[in-house]
Structure 1
Amino acid sequence: MLVYILGVALFALGICVSVALHEAGHMVTAKAFGMKVRRYFVGFGPTVFSFRKGETEYGLKWIPLGGFCDIAGMTALDEVKPDEAPRAMWRFKTWKRTVVLGAGSATHFVLGFVVLYLMAVTMGLPNLENRAVVSEVSSCVRDATTVEQVNDPNCRPGDPAPALAAGVQPGDELVAVGGKEISGWSDVLTAVRNSSGPTEVKVLRDGELKTLTVDVPQLTRPSPEGGTEKAGAIGVAPASLLPYGPVEALGGSAQFTGEILVQTWQRLLEFPERIPAVVEAIFGGERDPNTPVSVVGASRIGGEAVEQGLWEVFLFLLASLNFFVGIFNLLPLLPLDGGHIAVTWYERVRDWLRKLRGKAAGGPVDYTKLNAVTAVIVVIGGAVVLLTVTADIVNPIRLFPQ
């Protein structure tokens, strides 16, 4: 239980660091362009401590769930002091304001990439493409009538070890078995299952193609339809994580980042249709593992991962959460940063069209006219947060269902 609590606390700390860096992204870019940054605080509520350095006040508040960066004149309606007016954010060029507003999400993307890179060079990245990479070579294979017997590591005298005897090594990627090309681990299972006797196996090892001969025995194995059947087996296990060197990890992490961003966007599009399942879970229905989770739920899953020693799950979840927050924050809805970016570019395009018609630039957008829409979005967002937090407390998603 202590390890679980530690895992929850570490994941929550990771989220707090992410949020703090998000706001730091706004602050650093705003200062770089010469905008006036009044305050940078981590957390909400009463102030624990603060100090002033230059023109900016830095501080920490008691509730470590968020933070804020106070930039003078973020909109034309914000009150600014006379000395702040020349450096008010709304006076700067559109692209500079866009960079500052998008810097928070960019920070999440960079942080997610860094987490994935550290995973790649230490433990490897998840094998999402189901590549036929060997993680373990068994010391024997045997007849078995149950899955438990298949996975039993205890060897008996005379049990063959086909892959081990042929020289297959952990990290090898199987590219052909018995003359049939391999595109994924399912192809390996099919090819080996139908093989018997000396079989040519091609593997990619450290970038070099090697040809091995594996003597495949036909063994008694559990049948997918029930009962038993005769099938080939060589004693190899698939890799759930793919290792990378320090240099190749850059490309691998970048590619993996792209894949996660695409998947995250797809999950975001599916978000509304999964809310009813969250409500159902609150009232006793089985919790769908694909339903949205709150910070509470993500922290609980992180705690379970640490408790079971699955640090790769912990780090992958933390990276995925950063990508989700980064994309979500760019949605063109107020009060999200994406909403402010949309308004900024609306002003730019509107003034460009007015210029083409020989008219003067229009005034800044009146944000008060958007208050009703903003309030609706805030209420809906608050309701979703309340639902997911409640579900994560009364019926949480678990890595290992009890």
Structure 2
Amino acid sequence: MLAYIFGVALFALGICVSVALHEAGHMLTAKAFGMKVRRYFVGFGPKVFSFRRGETEYGLKWIPLGGFCDIAGMTAMDEVTPDEAPRAMWRYKTWKRTVVLAAGSFTHFVLGFVVLYLMAVTMGLPNIMGTPQISSVSQCVQDATTREEYVNPRQCAPGAPAPAKEGGIQPGDVIVSVSGTPTPTFEDVVNEIQPLSGPTRITVERDGETVPLTVDVTQVKRPVLNAQGEREIVEVGSIGVTFPREFHYDLVAGLGGAATFTGDMLVQTWQRLLEFPERIPAVVEAIFGAERDPNTPVSVVGASRIGGEAVERGIWWLFLFLLASLNFFVGIFNLLPLLPLDGGHIAVTWYERVRDFVRKLRGKAAGGPVDYTKLSAVTMVVILIGGAVVLLTVTADIVNPIRLPS
């Protein structure tokens, strides 16, 4: 139980650090361009403490669920004092304002990358894409009618077949197709090979080249669960290879591995974000007793609980993976062109730039800054919808949380 509480607290601390770095990204870039930063606070609610360095007040508040960086004149509607007016943010060039606004999300991406790099050079990066890259080739394949025989296979009998070894498959090869059928994941490879027997055309990618091979698939006995949940022995095709559950790197190769993994996660995060609205009904159903779909959205509460369970079971890679995933999600979500998100402010900034460019082509003077009061209704709708989603996910994570498999 103590390990679980420690894990929850540690994950929450990780979130607080992410928030602090997000706002620090805004602050540092704003200061670098000469904008005036009035305040930099982590948290909301009553103030715990604060101090002043130069023209900026730094502080901490009691509720560590966010933070803010108060930049003078972030919009033309903000009130500024006469001495702040020349350094008001809205007076700066479009690209500088864009950099400042995007810096918060950029810090999330950097933090996620750093977490993945540390994983890459220590515990390895999980094979979440199911890449069918061969980690080892067995000396033989033979029956395994119990789980113990499967996990700890007995010594190869004389003359036992070794399909993969004899067929020329090598560690590091990536199986790209079986009998002409593409196999993007190792599960696809297994599903294609199990019904087969005898010589089979298997294509692998080796050192950037495509290599066609012929492998004599052997039928062996394996224990499986039938539709009734009962264990039975069946014959399935096997070639005698294993696939990695994680990829390990040295200090140099870890940079490339983490970069590639970051790209894959950003793509997956964007896809999950597009699927977000259609998964909300399942969250509502879970609140009223339906089985919780592990693919439904989770709140900070739910992520922290899963992080606590991961620490309790010693699954540190999952804890770090969740922390990186959360940073990528927040980073991308915050760039959506919706107010009051940073992406909404970026959209308004570039709208002004494009509008003024068109006006210049038409021989007209530049238009004034966008009147944010006219966008208040849309902003309020976004806030209400966002608040409702947060309320739903937090409720579901309390009454029917996602749990790790036993």
TM-score by length of 2: 0.84
1:347 to 327, 332, 352: 352
1:245 to 246, 250, 266: 250
Q: 1:250 to 1:104 in 2, by over 3 A?
A: same
> What's the offset of the Cα at 1:305?
1.3
Separation in structure 1 between the aligned mates of residue 65 and residue 159 of structure 2, nearest angstrom = 57
Separation in structure 2 between the aligned mates of residue 15 and residue 138 of structure 1, nearest angstrom = 44
| Contact preservation (8 Å) 1:172, 1:204 | no
1:284-325 superposed Cα distances (whole Å, 9 cap, x missing partner): 111111111100011111111111211111111111111110
2:16 aligned partner: 16
1:280 aligned partner: 285
Q: 1:3 to 1:203 in 2, by over 3 A?
A: farther
Separation in structure 2 between the aligned mates of residue 328 and residue 56 of structure 1, nearest angstrom = 28
Separation in structure 2 between the aligned mates of residue 57 and residue 223 of structure 1, nearest angstrom = 64
Is 1:125 equivalent to 2:125 in the alignment?
Answer: yes
Letter in 1 for 2:12: A
Letter in 2 for 1:359: K
Is 1:93 equivalent to 2:93 in the alignment?
Answer: yes
The percent of aligned pairs where both chains have the same amino acid is 74
| Contact preservation (8 Å) 2:11, 2:308 | yes
Q: 1:151 to 1:57 in 2, by over 3 A?
A: same
1:264 aligned partner: 269
> Which range is displaced more, 217-226 or 364-373?
217-226
Is 1:222 equivalent to 2:227 in the alignment?
Answer: no
| Contact preservation (8 Å) 1:332, 1:342 | yes
Separation in structure 2 between the aligned mates of residue 192 and residue 180 of structure 1, nearest angstrom = 12
> What's the offset of the Cα at 1:221?
2.3
Q: 1:89 to 1:161 in 2, by over 3 A?
A: farther
Separation in structure 2 between the aligned mates of residue 340 and residue 157 of structure 1, nearest angstrom = 66
SS of the counterpart of 1:398? coil
Separation in structure 1 between the aligned mates of residue 264 and residue 217 of structure 2, nearest angstrom = 37
Separation in structure 1 between the aligned mates of residue 159 and residue 3 of structure 2, nearest angstrom = 40
> Which range is displaced more, 68-77 or 303-312?
303-312
SS of the counterpart of 1:97? helix
Residue correspondences, number: 397
1:386 aligned partner: 391
Separation in structure 2 between the aligned mates of residue 29 and residue 96 of structure 1, nearest angstrom = 9
Separation in structure 2 between the aligned mates of residue 384 and residue 319 of structure 1, nearest angstrom = 22
| Contact preservation (8 Å) 2:174, 2:206 | no
1:211 aligned partner: none
Separation in structure 1 between the aligned mates of residue 253 and residue 112 of structure 2, nearest angstrom = 17
2:78 aligned partner: 78
Separation in structure 2 between the aligned mates of residue 271 and residue 222 of structure 1, nearest angstrom = 38
> What's the offset of the Cα at 1:50?
1.1
> What's the offset of the Cα at 1:202?
11
| Contact preservation (8 Å) 1:139, 1:155 | no
2:25 aligned partner: 25
Separation in structure 2 between the aligned mates of residue 194 and residue 270 of structure 1, nearest angstrom = 36
Give the 5 Å matches for 1:149-188. Answer: 149-153=148-152, 155=154, 172-175=171-174, 184-185=185-186, 186-187=188-189
Separation in structure 2 between the aligned mates of residue 237 and residue 50 of structure 1, nearest angstrom = 56
Separation in structure 1 between the aligned mates of residue 98 and residue 196 of structure 2, nearest angstrom = 59
> Which range is displaced more, 221-230 or 363-372?
221-230
Unmatched 5+ stretches in structure 2: 209-214
Q: 1:216 to 1:277 in 2, by over 3 A?
A: closer
Unmatched 5+ stretches in structure 1: 208-213
CA RMSD of aligned residues (A): 3.7
1:356 to 358, 361, 369: 361
> Which range is displaced more, 27-36 or 183-192?
183-192
1:68 aligned partner: 68
> Which range is displaced more, 79-88 or 248-257?
248-257
TM-score by length of 1: 0.85
> What's the offset of the Cα at 1:57?
0.9
1:297 aligned partner: 302
> Which range is displaced more, 358-367 or 27-36?
358-367
